[in-house]
Amino acid sequence: MLAEHLYNWELWIAPDGGMEFVSRACERVCGYGPEQFYKNPDFFAAIMHEADVPVWRKLQAMMLGGARAGEAEFRLRTPDGRERWIQFLVRRVEGDSGEFLGHRATCRDISERKMLTMQLKHQAWHDPLTDLPNRTLCMDRIGRALERAKRKERADFALVFMDLDRFKVINDSLGQAIGDQVLRDTASRMVREVRAMDTVSRIGGDEFVILLEEVESLREVQIIVRRIMDAVEESLAIGQRVVRVTGSFGVVMGDASYATADEMLRNANIAMHQAREEGWGNLVVFDPSMLERAMNLMHIEMDLYRALERDEFFLVYQPIVNITCRRITGFEALVRWNHPDKGTVSPTEFIPISEGTGQIMHIGKWVLMDACQTMARWRETYPEFEDMVVSVNLSARQLSQPGMVEQVAEVLRETALPPQCLRLEVTETMLMGNPEFANMTLARLKELGVKLCIDDFGTGYSSLSYLQAFPIDTLKVDRSFVGKMSREPGNFKIVQAVVALAHSLGLEVVAEGVEEEEQRIMLSELRCESGQGFLFSRPVPGDEVPNLVFAALEALEECTLRGVA
C-alpha cells in the first residue's frame, strides 16, 4: 500500500473499532510497532498521558456519533518513558452508496512545535533572569485569587510587595553581573521560604511580589514574611565578595471588595514605600490612611508640573546674623509654594516629591535665578546690602547635573551679581553619595568665585579627609544639635567640637535653629561666627527684607551708643 511508505503515521479504523491498517511509521513516532495496535485497538489510551485520555474519549464519541472529521492533540509515552506530542487528524470514510467503512486517521509528531510553543509561553509568563513568574503571570494569579474570594465570600490570601534596599548602589558599585546574581540568589531564597501553593514573582528591577495562599490571619502572614526577610538578609557569597542586602516589605490582606488585581498591588506597593520611609529592612501592613496620603502626594506631584508655569512659587528670606553683635550679614533664600487650593505648602511636602520626579531641576534653577536677581536689586538700591551674601540650597539632583556649573555662571552673568555675594549650600549626604564627582563640581564652582557651604553638618557621615578635600568656606551646624545645646551637655559638646573642627580647617561656622538668647551667648563664647533662627527673625517675604535690615542696623547703633555712654 502507498500509505505504508508515507512519512506520517497512517491508520484505518474499522467500523467496529478494530484496526484495519497501521503504518510502520508508528514505530518512529511512538516507539511501538503496528502489532501492538492490531492486538489491542485501545492501545492509544493505554500509552496516553492520563490527563489527555478525556480528550481522546471525547474525540472517539464524536466520531462514532457521525461527525465527518475531527482533530485532537495529546501525549503518548514511548517505551523508554519519554513523551511525544501527537496531532491526530481523523475523517469518516463512506462507500459509493453511503455505507460506513470506518475512519481514516493521520498521526503527526508535533513534539518540537509543541515544545517551542510551551517555551515561548513560559518566556512570555516568566522573568528571564530569575525564571520566576513575571508581572503578567503575577497579575493573573492575583486576579484568580480575587475571583475565588468573591465566590467563597471569604478571602484567605495575602499579597506582599518587596523591594531590595539600595540595590542601585550594589549594581553601580559592584557591576551588573553581581547585581544580577544578587537578584537570582534573592529569588531562590524567597522561593525556598514559601509553600508550593504560594507564588513568588519578579515584576521588574529589584521588585518582587509574593502571593500567599490559604492564610488564616495577619499573624500567620507576618510569621511567613519575617522568615522571608531573615532569608533575604543572610550574607551572599558571590565570588570573592560577601554582599548583604535588606528588603522593604509591604503587606496587604486579601479582601473580596477589591475590584482588580491592580488595586491590590497598588496598596501593597504603598505599604512597601511606607516601610522604606521607616528605615531599611522594615515590614508595614497597609491601612486605608496610607492610600489617602499616597493620593495626596500624587495630586501634589501633578500640581507641581503646573506650579512654575502658574508662578505659584515664591521665596522668603531668613537673616544670617553675626552671633555677637546681631548684624545681618546675609540671607538664606527659602522656596515656598502658594497652592491655589491648599494655600502655602511646606517644602517638606513638595521638595522630596520634586526630587523624585526631577522637577527639582526646574524649581532649583528658578530659585537660583530669583534669589540672585533679588540680591542684585537690593545691592543696587541700598548701600547697606553691598557686602551681604544670599545663600541658595542645591539639591542632590542639581549637584549631579552635568551643566550645573554653567547654569550658575549664566545666572551670575544675567543678574550681574558678584559671585562672592552668592553662597551655595549642599548637605553632607549629597557630597558623600559620589565624593569624587562632587569635589570636581565644587572645585569648578569655586573657580567662579562663589562661596560654598556644607548644610546640616553633623547629620551625615563625611570623613575628616573628605572634609579637608572639599573646597568649602562654611559649615552649618544642624539645628538638632543647636536646639538642645543649652539643656543637654552631649549636644553642647558636639557643637563645640564642630566649631573647633571648622576653625582648625579655616572655615566659618553658621549655627542653625538659634531660638533662645542662652544659645546665642553659648555660641558666641565658642567663637561661632554666625547664627540663623527665630531668635533673630523668621523667614520673611522679599519686600520686608530692607526694613528688617534697617531696623537691625538701628538697634545695633543704639546698642553701640549705649555702650559708649
Say whether pTM exceeds 0.85: no
Whether 427 and 460 have beta carbons less than 8 Å apart is answered as yes
Q: Are residues 249 and 349 in the same domain?
A: no
Q: Is 65 exposed, middle or buried, given 0-12, 13-18 or 19+ CB atoms closer than 10 A?
A: exposed
Q: Which three cell numbers stand for residue 186?
A: 534573592
Domain count, the chain: 3
* 451 occurs within a structural domain: yes
Contact 501, 473 (CB under 8 A): no
295 burial via Cβ count (<10 Å: 0-12, 13-18, 19+): exposed
DSSP state of 195: -
Cα distance between residue 236 and residue 249, in whole Å: 20
d(CA 204, CA 112) in angstroms, rounded, equals 31
Judgement on whether residues 152 and 212 belong to the same structural domain of the protein: yes
d(CA 514, CA 331): 15
In this structure, the answer to whether residues 312 and 249 fall within a common structural domain is no
Residue 200 sits in a domain whose CATH number is 3.30.70.270
> Do 93 and 44 fall into the same domain?
yes
Last residue of a domain, one of 58, 84, 117: 117
pLDDT of residue 157: 93
pLDDT band at residue 4 under the 50/70/90 scheme: low
81 and 178 both lie in a single domain:
no
- Which residues, in sequence order, are bridge partners of residue 108? 87
Do residues 136 and 45 both lie within one domain? Answer: no
Based on the fold, state whether residues 238 and 324 are members of the same structural domain.
no
Q: What is the pLDDT of residues 71-129, one digit of tens each?
A: 999 999 999 999 999 999 999 999 888 899 999 999 999 999 988 888 888 888 899 99
Within-domain flag for 122:
no
Domain CATH code at residue 488: 3.20.20.450
Rounded distance between C-alpha atoms, residue 287 and residue 264, angstroms: 12
Query: How are beta strands 343-345 and 9-13 bridged, if at all?
Result: unpaired
Same domain for 314 and 455, yes or no, is yes
Pair 275, 305 in one domain: no
Same-domain check for residues 54 and 137: no
Domain carrying residue 111: 2-117
Digit-coded pLDDT (tens) for 156-214? 899 999 999 988 888 887 888 889 999 999 999 999 999 999 999 999 999 999 999 99
Domain identity same for 242 and 195: yes
Same domain (yes/no): 8, 142 = no
The answer to whether residue 291 is domain-embedded is no
Looking at residue 558, its pLDDT comes to 67
Strands (E), 64-131: 69-77, 83-94, 100-109
Tell which wins on pLDDT, 557 or 35. 35
Determine the Cα–Cα distance for residues 135 and 204; give it in Å rounded to an integer. Answer: 8
Final residue belonging to a domain, choices 260, 286, 312:
286
Last residue of a domain, one of 253, 286, 319: 286
Q: Which of 393, 392, 380, 382 is nearest to 422 (CA)?
A: 392
Of residues 410 and 237, which shows the higher confidence score?
Answer: 410
Mean of per-residue pLDDT scores for the chain: 89
Query: Does 292 reside within a domain?
Result: no
